[in-house]
Amino acid sequence: MFPTPIAKTSRAWQISYQALLPVALVLWLLPLLAVALFSIKPDADFTNGNYWGWPSSFEGVTNYRKVFFESDMPRYLLNSVMITVPTVLGAVALSAMTGFALGIYKFRSNLPIFFLFIAGNFVPFQILMVPVRDLTVNMGLYDTKLGLVLFHIAFQTGFCTLFMRNFIRTLPYPLIEAARVEGVAEWRIFWYVVMPLMKPALAALSVLIFTFIWNDYFWAVVLTQGPDSQPATAGITAFNSQFRAAYHLMSAGSIVAALPPVLMFFLMQKHFIAGLTLGAVK
Amino acid sequence: MASQATDPDRRGWYRRNEIAVTPWLFLLPGLIFFAIYVIIPIFQSFWISFHEWDGLGEKEWVGLANYERLLGGDRKFETSFWNNVKWLLLYLLAIPMGLFIALFLNQTVFGIRIYKSLFFFPFVISQVVVGLVFSWFYLPNNGLFDVMTGWFGIDIRGGVLGNPDTATYGIIAAGLWPQTAYCMILYLTGLNAVDPEQVEAARLDGAKGHKMLWYVILPQLKPATFIAFVVTIIGALRSFDFIAVMTNGGPFGSTRVLSFYMFEESLSEFGFRMGYGAAIAVVLFFLMLIFICYFLYAMWRDEREAR
């Protein structure tokens, strides 16, 4: 193990390490602690210039009530869910299929197609912006959740294919050969042999894509406008113009909007990290 | 064998060609989607960049005029380009910083798992929220940063984000926070896979500290470093959210980068100049293409070794 395990070092360093950990953590998370603090402060603290000090009273309940009952935030959150969930399902389904095709079969254009997916996934969004916006407008899907979902599914398929294909490559190939010898149809091999083994990959991709799409801001601004279909990320900025300089409400709103991926991460941490490392780092 | 070959195959066409046809059936839906929304738009953007177009009416062919204007002394373009270079270089700091935190946390003490996930926390939060939080942190007079620099007698006029000399660096610092967390988690998983026997052997040979790190550990962390490099470069060139939320390109356009400038030209309130925007996007695309080619080359090399 590197660095030297703490148990093998001097007593003094052991104690200082244990003391250092919480201090480092607080420093690292200082910006977040600040928003959390802001969100329970009363309005008066900001007008009095008491930004970072102890709250003069605790208004957490009032502030969060306002966010939930007197703003558009719940609508934005609902939109986010209705954009994110179908995208996750669509992208994972499509890429399970493409990953299967590229991971199992040998044909001449296999590698070029695989690299096409990877390359497309790295492309800057701006090179797609004008044509995709134009396409969405022409399909009558501008400012709809469906328009966003379709694009997200397509774009995420690139990354998901990379992930799925690499995962399928690690499965034992004799299993598939055995099934073929038995005369099992190819699509049945996909459904009954490969799919059950892909559960960890499916879980990892789902959490990861959920976070990516929930946090997307650029496409939300390009393809939608207004509370009818914009997700929470775009909602926060609108929210800010509604409550200009009302830091307590802005922070409460931001926390609410940022929470779902955070929960997702803490609940499915193992899968999440497996996804982030692209399965390449074991 | 011979009798089989002469015996006409009575199975249907699909059954006979199943192995050859199936991959294409499985690829088709994904490939069609990807082509319509990703591959074809790239070429369309190239085409649009040779036109003047407001996004609604007829496109007017202008040849290379957009590029001539862009490269022939567009001040906004120059600022954006050099800011992109700053982003690229400074964003790479996330890799050593992530490695440093990973080394710090790679211990087995009580509660370390919770510490690791809390250190990773910033990456899960949307960039819009991170940007907002940092813009409050940087507030002139009332911001914590301004208060803290005040202790050392430093006063940045207009606040970090209000001052054209510091604004871009302030935004990059905000971006480095989640990016460092990402690199940290990559290295933590990488460190898990480091071969303990090699480390022990090196220790017996008297390797310690930074020598051990440089000659024994880092070579084994190469896959993690590669992915950290890929995601950091992509992240640096995709920096849009932070700028849009924190400064909206200002003050005096000093924080624009190509991705933001492109958006501004194409969809700003001053009219939609899609052709010019597409030309900016093409330049950004070629900038990215240098890295994409390198990434693909590295992956292709691994792929050949694997066979």
Q: Which residues pair with B268 in a beta bridge?
A: B271
Measured distance between the N- and C-terminal CA atoms of chain B, rounded to whole angstroms:
31
pLDDT at B121: 87
Q: Considering the domain boundaries, does residue B53 fall inside one? A: no
Query: Is A92 an 8 Å CB contact of chain B?
Result: no
Distance from the Cα of A156 to chain B's closest Cα (Å) equals: 9
Question: Do residues A124 and A227 both lie within one domain?
Answer: yes
Q: Considering the domain boundaries, does residue A129 fall inside one? A: yes
User: Residue A279 pLDDT more than 60?
Assistant: no
CA atoms of B266 and B275, how far apart (whole Å): 8
Residue of B17, B27, B145 to mutate, interface with A, max A Cβ within 10 Å: B27
Q: Considering the domain boundaries, does residue B4 fall inside one? A: no
CB B83 within 8 A of CB B168: yes
Asked whether the beta carbons of residue B299 and residue A28 sit closer than 8 angstroms, the reply is no
Question: Do residues B37 and B168 both lie within one domain?
Answer: no
Q: Which CATH number belongs to the domain containing residue B196 in this structure?
A: 1.10.3720.10
Query: Is A113 an 8 Å CB contact of chain B?
Result: yes
- Give the DSSP letter string of A7-72: GGS-HHHHHHHHHHHHHHHHHHTHHHHHHHHHHTS-HHHHHTT-SSS--SS--HHHHHHHHHHSSS
Q: Which residue, among B133, B234, B142, B132, has the nearest Cα to B182 in the 3D structure?
A: B234
Question: Do residues A123 and A200 both lie within one domain?
Answer: yes
CA atoms of A153 and A131, how far apart (whole Å): 17
Question: Do residues B236 and B158 both lie within one domain?
Answer: yes
Structure tokens at A122: 């790295």
Domain boundary among A65, A81, A103: A65
pLDDT at A278: 60
Q: Considering the domain boundaries, does residue B218 fall inside one? A: yes
Q: Considering the domain boundaries, does residue B210 fall inside one? A: yes
pLDDT at B56: 79
Question: Do residues A46 and A91 both lie within one domain?
Answer: no
CA atoms of A138 and B73, how far apart (whole Å): 35
Q: Considering the domain boundaries, does residue A282 fall inside one? A: no
Domain boundary among A65, A96, A116: A65
Domain boundary among A65, A92, A113: A65
Cβ-nearest to B45 among A117, A131, A265:
A131
Cβ-nearest to B39 among A29, A94, A120:
A120
Question: Do residues A171 and A34 both lie within one domain?
Answer: no
Question: Do residues A138 and A197 both lie within one domain?
Answer: yes
Asked whether the beta carbons of residue B281 and residue A127 sit closer than 8 angstroms, the reply is yes
| Sign of the dihedral through C-alpha A232, B125, B260, A91 | negative
Mean pLDDT by groups of 10 residues along chain B of 307 residues? 50 79 92 94 94 84 88 90 94 96 89 88 90 88 81 81 89 94 91 85 84 87 90 91 89 90 83 88 93 90 77
Question: Do residues B37 and B153 both lie within one domain?
Answer: no
pLDDT by residue (tens digit) across A144-165? 999 999 999 999 999 999 989 9
Distance from the Cα of B165 to chain A's closest Cα (Å) equals: 23
Residue of B132, B176, B218, B282 to mutate, interface with A, max A Cβ within 10 Å: B132
Measured distance between the N- and C-terminal CA atoms of chain A, rounded to whole angstroms:
16
Q: Considering the domain boundaries, does residue A281 fall inside one? A: no
Structure tokens at B63: 């040849």
Q: Which domain, by its residues, includes B38?
A: 15-48
Size of interface A-B (CB pairs under 8 A): 278
Q: Which residue has the tokens 């995420």?
A: A156
Question: Do residues B86 and B213 both lie within one domain?
Answer: yes
CA atoms of A229 and A247, how far apart (whole Å): 25
CB B30 within 8 A of CB A158: no
- Give the DSSP letter string of A241-271: HHTTT-HHHHHHHHHHHHHHHHHHHHHSHHH
Q: Considering the domain boundaries, does residue A174 fall inside one? A: yes
pLDDT by residue (tens digit) across A80-124? 999 999 999 999 999 999 999 999 998 889 999 999 999 998 999
Question: Do residues B23 and B168 both lie within one domain?
Answer: no
pLDDT at B2: 44
pLDDT at B97: 96
Structure tokens at A125: 């969004």
Question: Do residues B79 and B25 both lie within one domain?
Answer: no
How high is the mean pLDDT of chain A? 87
Count: domains in chain B: 2
pLDDT at B4: 46
Q: How many residues does chain B have?
A: 307
DSSP code for A123: S
CB B161 within 8 A of CB B135: yes
Cβ-nearest to A269 among B117, B191, B274:
B117
User: Residue A219 pLDDT more than 60?
Assistant: yes
CB A153 within 8 A of CB B31: no
Supply the Cα-derived Rg of chain A in whole angstroms: 24
Query: Is A89 an 8 Å CB contact of chain B?
Result: no
Question: Do residues A121 and A146 both lie within one domain?
Answer: yes
Question: Do residues B40 and B145 both lie within one domain?
Answer: no
| Sign of the dihedral through C-alpha B221, B223, B229, B231 | negative
Question: Do residues A39 and A78 both lie within one domain?
Answer: no
CA atoms of B79 and B74, how far apart (whole Å): 9
Q: Considering the domain boundaries, does residue A1 fall inside one? A: no
Q: ∠ CA B123-B245-A29 to the nearest 5 degrees?
A: 35
Q: Considering the domain boundaries, does residue B54 fall inside one? A: no
Question: Do residues A59 and A124 both lie within one domain?
Answer: no
Question: Do residues B229 and B299 both lie within one domain?
Answer: yes
Structure tokens at A22: 């919480």
Count: domains in chain A: 2
Question: Do residues A147 and A47 both lie within one domain?
Answer: no
ipTM of the complex: 0.89
Question: Do residues B122 and B234 both lie within one domain?
Answer: yes
Q: Which residue, among B91, B212, B268, B37, has the nearest Cα to A157 in the 3D structure?
A: B37
Cβ-nearest to A127 among B45, B142, B295:
B45
Residue of A6, A126, A255 to mutate, interface with B, max B Cβ within 10 Å: A126
Question: Do residues B111 and B168 both lie within one domain?
Answer: yes
Question: Do residues A40 and A80 both lie within one domain?
Answer: no
Q: Which domain, by its residues, includes A29?
A: 6-65
Question: Do residues A124 and A190 both lie within one domain?
Answer: yes
Question: Do residues A96 and A212 both lie within one domain?
Answer: yes
DSSP code for B123: G
CA atoms of A249 and A70, how far apart (whole Å): 11
Q: Considering the domain boundaries, does residue B7 fall inside one? A: no
Count of other CB atoms within 10 angstroms of residue B268: 12
Question: Do residues B176 and B34 both lie within one domain?
Answer: no
Cβ-nearest to B133 among A21, A35, A132:
A35
pLDDT by residue (tens digit) across A168-217? 988 888 888 899 898 888 889 999 999 999 888 898 889 889 999 999 99
Question: Do residues B38 and B175 both lie within one domain?
Answer: no
pLDDT at A190: 92
Asked whether the beta carbons of residue A254 and residue B132 sit closer than 8 angstroms, the reply is yes
CB A235 within 8 A of CB A257: yes
Q: Considering the domain boundaries, does residue B126 fall inside one? A: yes
